[in-house]
Amino acid sequence: MKMVNLTIDGKKIKARPGEKLLWAALDNGIYIPNLCAIKDKPEPNAACRLCWVEIEGNKEPVTACTIEVADGMVVNIRGQNALALARAGFELLMASHALDCAHCSANGVCELQKIAKTLKCSLKPRRLRLLLRDLSVDDSNPLFTLDPNKCVLCGRCVWECRKSKEKAVLGFAHRGFDRVLTTFGDEPIEERCMNCSTCVEVCPTGALAFKEGKKSADIA
């Protein structure tokens, strides 16, 4: 297969034709902030709106997850306009995220912390007001808890959970600001969960977290 040559931040890389720019960058060790990207999903979610990049010849920044690589493409992931949009999106997310790193099991491995570091911005929103929803935590499962207040609605867990029909426990409900990660009829996760706990492994934040002393190996 003929590979496509492109340049990201001065680094020359090769990518398979038809591949999305985000994955070409990530596979070559170039980190672009992202939350909703799922490699084996045929269509990108394009929901988190964080992977903004600037492409030479384009006036406006674009999301790297929706753009296919092209030969000779020159990409700048630190452009001012791209950074401004990424930061704006991130601050919006953080303004509705129950921030409590010190008591969060994801502390240290949380992707929100990683993104804040990359974008050089604070975890606490400075400009926007806090809009928290105070949703109830589901701790019915013996292995893990679901705290929707920490959820960024990236959809990774939903994708994993719905890969097989027998599982399909998690999903999104409601719309607009009320959109929430939940189960059918808001029943406790434990009702149908097969305890594969893949959802916990893919969660970028502490929204789905193992209970103390549990880990994926504990699957019965």
Question: Which residue's CB is nearer to another protein, number 25 or number 49?
Answer: 49
Question: Which residue's CB is nearer to another protein, number 96 or number 183?
Answer: 96
To another protein, the closest distance from the beta carbon of 105 in angstroms equals 24
To another protein, the closest distance from the beta carbon of 116 in angstroms equals 15
Determine how β-strand 52-55 pairs with β-strand 62-63: antiparallel
Question: Which residue's CB is nearer to another protein, number 116 or number 143?
Answer: 116
- Residues forming contacts to another protein in the complex (CB under 8 A) are 43-50, 52, 60-61, 63, 65-66, 68, 84-85, 88-89, 92-93, 95-96, 127-129, 131, 153, 172, 174-179
The Cβ-side half-sphere exposure at 68, using a 13 Å CA radius, reads 10
Question: Which residue's CB is nearer to another protein, number 47 or number 196?
Answer: 47
